Structure 1
Amino acid sequence: MSAVGDVALRASQEPAGRPRRMGDPGPLGKFGDYGGRFVPESLVGACREVEEAFREAWSDPQFRGSLATLLSVHVGRPTPLTPAWRLSAELGINLLLKREDLTHTGSHKINNALGQALLAARMGRTRLLAETGAGQHGVATATAAALLGLKATVFIGERDAQRQALNVFRMRVLGAEVVEVTTGSRTLKDATSEAMRQWVGALEDAYYCVGSVVGPYPYPWMVRELQRVIGEEARGQCAGELSTGVPDYVVACVGGGSNAAGTFAGFVDTGAQLIGVEADGGAGASRGRLGVLHGFRSLFLQDDDGQITEAESIAAGLDYPGVGPEHAYLRDLGRARYVTVTDTEVVDAALRLARTEGILPALESAHAVAWVIRAAEAGELPPGATVLLTLSGRGDKDTTTLMELL
């Protein structure tokens, strides 16, 4: 990999003295010291083409209208903001759940996948390439491809394919080719590496549909913009039907961090405290060091020699050794705080939410629930505090894991 992007692109036009908070990162695609475009020469033009196409599409009312229509009639937006009455009473807070688990396909990933699939079709591409860990982005990409008449190839680590067999089956039923990656840790990091390698050899007909706020510019910015609908809906719902006003805390799980980025974007200009919850064994924002992987600079788990180390999490979607560059930037600014929870806390939180609210969350989402429970019971959350938590996905896919543990 070569750092061609930082040389080839013009300097950022961010106003002096005013740190950009979840706006346009400028032509460098930089969030402070993070982001950028670190790709082989063969992918520089492809990344620029995606950036130009997205900027044009995002300013086109017809494109935005088509996406909004699909998000409404196909995905089921807006998703509800559900008061967690029983758990709130137990914890002494007012907990509100943004229900991305109720979208078609069962997670927030469909918001991004549909937007990028529309962009790919607009660019004349006929095939989508995607990486997936928990399988939710793979299912969303396969769904979007089927809806728009595109082909799809999804790369998943062999280890993840075993623990997410249901989602692998769903992808194949939807018509996608599923490629199990057997190198490295056989998880999300390796699936992403393989997807990028395959993209290099298929630039004429393929579009790389990145699943999170990671990768070379423009992907971290573009995915955040496509997920911004979560935060904007939630903010309107707080001000509207629930009349709670701006919540005291806004909480979401973080791996690469797309559901958190989309949620935070709706509240970054308010007084709400933004909390990103990572897996204890995959805490890029909490414990990572500056490095480059998969085409972008951010915080990654590394050994003393600077080599990327493997992440470990009970949730396949958080099994990534780094964090999206904008999350690293928000951390440095002090605008968002990143914390960790253990696998044991996650399983306990998933069961507690299921038994108090009748909602079985994805294990990824249960990370956010686990932190809220711990913080409330430890007195870190003031009594009566309003906490908005994004449930990024539903837990059907994790039943096999839970059955083995319980």
Structure 2
Amino acid sequence: MDYQVNEKGYYGDFGGAYIPEMMYPNIEELRKRYLEIMEEPSFKAEFDQLMKDYVGRPSPLYLAKRLSERYGAKIFLKREDLNHTGAHKINNTIGQILLAKRLGKNRIIAETGAGQHGVATATVCALMGLECVVYMGEIDMARQAPNVARMKMMGAEVRPAVSGSKTLKDATNEAMRDWISNPVDTHYIIGSVVGPHPYPDMVARFQSIISAETKKQLLEQTGSENPDIVIACVGGGSNAMGMFYHYLNEEGVRLIAAEAAGKGVDSGESAATSVLGKEGVLHGSRTILMQTDDGQVVEPYSISAGLDYPGIGPQHAFLHKIGRAEYVSITDEEAMQAGLLLTRLEGIIPAIESAHALAQLEKMTFRGNEQVVVCLSGRGDKDLDNYMKYFGF
């Protein structure tokens, strides 16, 4: 089975580029050039050097002993939270900023939900001396204030999205409008495996460093590069796609994606796309999304600002449809308790997004010898206020 994108930009029934005519030149330029640029020796050398010396890769693969004892399995954490800027997002922004420079772009725009992608974009723009505008939902700006401050400190302009639910979907809409208005000098760094082709493939390739490292590290630590189970959280799905990437063809490895069920799948306040969604078009690609009977996007909800997206990336939609990956729903309460548990057992405060993946462990029964890798996609500094309010600290 081929799990990668075909020459027309599709994963099975999903993907493509459903875009306004005015966006076509930008997308077409990117489509024609991205693979060729990524294969250039100078690009690879610069990317690898920045990953090592700036981001701090490889990120550790940590055997969480107390967590393992609790669940009766060997639980490894892929520590993306230890990257510079505190999440996996920097892997993609480094790649895309190098791409943008080679395309002659001097202005960068981005969208962000939890703020981690916005921070990562502001970071690489400061590094390269490029103008940076980040669109962020007004509600997300309030609940992720430390990340807004970080972006501004690095010289980025943070523009609030005040329409719709005032969250990630609306920030994405605003960023796409900006790109249509500024096609010549601007590159849009999409933060997840969403959007029109080639973005889902391009972002997945940059994030695939996560599973490439995991295979080597697991081999060193256990003698086998393949775990039994891989778990990652999914909003749009970039950390999960990076974590799954080099395991897609390893049919013996179970792939589990944890979505945000919010206050419950049937509560009307959820972001459990794979359960509640139907096939349709969102932000330039055919995928699975939450929508009404007449095709209007349903507003998602999650306590986590990075998972309240009404769709999933087209590659995830494909993996879900064919059953290669399992998509599970985790409530706010389950995620918050899992975040607190990791903190108390291992001294690691996870991002609330990542806590959704950890919460899946509570729902599983292990024989005792399984090797499980959980992608710890981000650190919880940005979420301390939410944790404090939730638990009354």
TM-score, length-normalised on structure 1?
Answer: 0.93
User: Which residue pairs with 1:274 in the alignment?
Assistant: 255
CA shift, 1:365, in A, is 0.3
Identity over aligned pairs, percent: 49
Equivalent position SS for 2:36: helix
Is the CA contact (8 Å cut-off) linking 2:229 and 2:372 kept in structure 1? Answer: yes
CA shift, 1:66, in A, is 0.7
Is the CA contact (8 Å cut-off) linking 1:53 and 1:119 kept in structure 2? Answer: no
| Aligned match for 1:283, one of 252, 256, 272 | 272
Is the CA contact (8 Å cut-off) linking 1:257 and 1:323 kept in structure 2? Answer: yes
Counterpart AA for 2:215: R
CA shift, 1:222, in A, is 0.3
Q: Aligned equivalents of 1:253 and 1:110: distance in 2?
A: 17
Counterpart AA for 1:322: G
| 2:293 pairs with 1:300 | no
Is the CA contact (8 Å cut-off) linking 1:211 and 1:223 kept in structure 2? Answer: yes
| Aligned match for 1:123, one of 103, 113, 119 | 103
User: Which residue pairs with 1:168 in the alignment?
Assistant: 148
User: Which residue pairs with 1:253 in the alignment?
Assistant: 233
User: Which residue pairs with 1:368 in the alignment?
Assistant: 357
CA shift, 1:245, in A, is 4.0
- The root-mean-square deviation of aligned C-alpha atoms, in Å, is 1.0
Q: Aligned equivalents of 1:29 and 1:59: distance in 2?
A: 19
Equivalent position SS for 1:211: coil
User: Which residue pairs with 1:395 in the alignment?
Assistant: 380
Q: Tell me which moved more, 266-275 or 337-346.
A: 266-275
Equivalent position SS for 2:110: strand
| Aligned match for 2:334, one of 330, 345, 357 | 345
Q: Tell me which moved more, 299-308 or 393-402.
A: 299-308
| 2:363 pairs with 1:357 | no
Counterpart AA for 1:202: N
Equivalent position SS for 2:368: coil
Q: Aligned equivalents of 1:253 and 1:194: distance in 2?
A: 25
| Aligned match for 2:320, one of 331, 347, 359 | 331
Q: How does 1:63-102 map to 2 (within 5 A)?
A: 63-102=43-82
CA deviation string 1:344-389 (max 9, x = no partner): 00100000000000000000000000011222xxx2x333211100
User: Which residue pairs with 1:310 in the alignment?
Assistant: 299
Counterpart AA for 2:332: D
Q: Aligned equivalents of 2:255 and 2:238: distance in 1?
A: 14
Q: Between Structure 1 and Structure 2, how many residues are aligned?
A: 382
Equivalent position SS for 1:399: helix
Segments ≥4 residues shifted beyond 4 Å? none
Is the CA contact (8 Å cut-off) linking 2:38 and 2:99 kept in structure 1? Answer: no
Q: Aligned equivalents of 1:279 and 1:352: distance in 2?
A: 18
Q: Aligned equivalents of 1:159 and 1:244: distance in 2?
A: 45
CA deviation string 1:119-149 (max 9, x = no partner): 1111110111000000000000000001111
Equivalent position SS for 2:375: strand
Q: Aligned equivalents of 1:211 and 1:151: distance in 2?
A: 17
Counterpart AA for 2:127: L
CA deviation string 1:6-46 (max 9, x = no partner): xxxxxxxxxxxxx421x3x2331000110000000011111
| Aligned match for 1:188, one of 136, 149, 168 | 168
Unaligned runs of 5+ in 1: 1-18
Q: Aligned equivalents of 1:165 and 1:242: distance in 2?
A: 41
Unaligned runs of 5+ in 2: 262-269
Counterpart AA for 1:246: N
CA shift, 1:312, in A, is 0.5
Q: Aligned equivalents of 1:397 and 1:242: distance in 2?
A: 33
Is the CA contact (8 Å cut-off) linking 1:171 and 1:178 kept in structure 2? Answer: yes
CA shift, 1:244, in A, is 4.7
Counterpart AA for 2:85: T
Counterpart AA for 1:403: M
Q: Tell me which moved more, 301-310 or 126-135.
A: 301-310
Is the CA contact (8 Å cut-off) linking 1:285 and 1:327 kept in structure 2? Answer: no
Counterpart AA for 1:327: H
User: Which residue pairs with 2:116 in the alignment?
Assistant: 136
Is the CA contact (8 Å cut-off) linking 1:234 and 1:266 kept in structure 2? Answer: no
Counterpart AA for 1:283: A
Q: Aligned equivalents of 1:322 and 1:400: distance in 2?
A: 27
User: Which residue pairs with 1:57 in the alignment?
Assistant: 37
Is the CA contact (8 Å cut-off) linking 2:214 and 2:225 kept in structure 1? Answer: no
Is the CA contact (8 Å cut-off) linking 2:80 and 2:88 kept in structure 1? Answer: yes
CA deviation string 1:137-191 (max 9, x = no partner): 0000000001111111000000000000000000000110000111100000000
User: Which residue pairs with 1:11 in the alignment?
Assistant: none
Q: Aligned equivalents of 2:149 and 2:354: distance in 1?
A: 22
| 2:212 pairs with 1:212 | no
Is the CA contact (8 Å cut-off) linking 1:92 and 1:383 kept in structure 2? Answer: yes
CA shift, 1:304, in A, is 2.1
Q: Aligned equivalents of 1:367 and 1:38: distance in 2?
A: 31
Q: Aligned equivalents of 1:162 and 1:337: distance in 2?
A: 33
Q: Tell me which moved more, 25-34 or 218-227.
A: 25-34
CA shift, 1:403, in A, is 1.3
